[in-house]
Amino acid sequence: MVTGLEPIIIDAAAKGMTGVVIKTAWDQGGNVLSRFSKGLNENTRQLIYNASQQYIKNYSNRNGILKVLGMREPVNLDDIYTMVRFLPKDEVIRFADLSNLEENYRSSNKRKYRIEEGETKSGITVANEQQYLMVIGEPGAGKSTFLRKIGLEALKGKKLLKESYKHSCIPVFIELKKFAEEDINIKSMIINEFDICKLPQAEKSVEKLLENGKLLILLDGLDEVPTKNMDRVINKIQDFVDKHDKNRFIISCRTAAYNNWFCRFTDVLMAEFNDQQIEQFINNWFKTQLDTETNTAENCWNLLQQEEYKGAKELAQTPLLLTFLCLTYDKTQSFPNNRSVLYRKALNILLEEWAAEKRIKRDPIYEGLHTELEEILLSDIAYHNFQEDKLFFYEQDIIEQIKTFLSGNLNAPQHLNGKAVLNAIEVQQGILVERATDVYSFSHLTLQEYLTAQYIVDHNLISEFVSNHVTDPRWKEVFILVAGLMRGGADQLLLLMENEARKFL
Here the CATH number for the domain that contains residue 115 is 3.40.50.300
Q: Which of 17-31, 59-73, 146-160 has the lowest mean pLDDT?
A: 17-31
Domain boundary among 309, 334, 358: 358
Which of 227, 229, 264, 222 lies closest to 245, judged by CA? 264
The pTM assigned to this predicted structure is 0.85
Report the domain count for the chain: 2
Cα distances (angstroms) measured from residue 288 to each of 292, 295, 296, 348: 6, 10, 9, 29
Tell me the C-alpha distance between 309 and 21, whole Å: 46
Residue 364's pLDDT is: 63
Do both 322 and 228 map to the same domain? no
Residue 358's pLDDT is: 55
H/E stretch holding 372 reads helix 371-387
Do both 231 and 249 map to the same domain? yes
Q: Is residue 30 part of a domain?
A: no
Domain boundary among 224, 240, 270: 270
Tell me the C-alpha distance between 420 and 244, whole Å: 36
Q: Is residue 250 part of a domain?
A: yes
pLDDT-derived band at 159 (thresholds 50, 70, 90) equals low
Q: Is the dihedral of CA 349, 354, 359, 363 positive or negative?
A: negative
Direct distance between the N- and C-terminal alpha carbons of the chain, in angstroms, rounded to an integer: 96
Mean of all residue pLDDT scores within the chain:
83
**Beta-carbon-side half-sphere exposure of residue 115 (alpha carbons within 13 Å):** 14
- Whether the per-residue pLDDT at 420 is higher than 80: the answer is yes
Do both 285 and 248 map to the same domain? no
Do both 133 and 238 map to the same domain? yes
Q: Which of 90-99, 253-262, 364-373 has the lowest mean pLDDT?
A: 90-99
Q: Is residue 185 part of a domain?
A: yes
Instruction: Print the domain residue range for 220.
Output: 65-270
Do both 199 and 336 map to the same domain? no
Amino acid letter for position 342: L
Tell me the C-alpha distance between 317 and 35, whole Å: 51
Domain boundary among 270, 290, 313: 270
Do both 145 and 106 map to the same domain? yes
Residue 159 near residue 16, CB atoms below 8 Å = yes
Q: Is residue 283 part of a domain?
A: yes
Q: Is residue 429 part of a domain?
A: no
Residue 26's pLDDT is: 32
Q: Is residue 492 part of a domain?
A: no
Q: Is residue 37 part of a domain?
A: no
Residue 118 near residue 88, CB atoms below 8 Å = yes
Contacts of 331 (CB under 8 A, 6+ apart): none
Write the pLDDT tens digit of every residue in 103-127: 777 776 667 776 666 678 899 999 9
- Whether the per-residue pLDDT at 93 is higher than 60: the answer is no
Do both 251 and 294 map to the same domain? no
Tell me the C-alpha distance between 54 and 57, whole Å: 5
Residue 355's pLDDT is: 61
Check residues 70 and 253 and name the one with the higher pLDDT: 253
Write the pLDDT tens digit of every residue in 462-498: 999 999 998 899 999 999 999 999 987 788 888 988 8
Chain-centre distance for alpha carbon 164? 22
User: Which stretches of 161-247 are assigned E, i.e. beta strand?
Assistant: 170-175, 215-220
Do both 319 and 216 map to the same domain? no
Q: Which of 101-110, 188-197, 219-228 has the lowest mean pLDDT?
A: 101-110
Amino acid letter for position 12: A
Taking phi over 0 as left and psi of -120 to 50 as alpha, with beta for the rest, 359 belongs to: left
Which of 240, 219, 209, 93 lies closest to 150, judged by CA? 219
Do both 134 and 198 map to the same domain? yes
Residue 161's pLDDT is: 60
- Whether the per-residue pLDDT at 2 is higher than 80: the answer is no
Range picked from 6-10, 54-58, 432-436 for highest mean pLDDT:
54-58
- Whether the per-residue pLDDT at 20 is higher than 60: the answer is no
Mean pLDDT score, 355-372 = 63
Do both 131 and 221 map to the same domain? yes
Do both 99 and 233 map to the same domain? yes
Do both 151 and 175 map to the same domain? yes
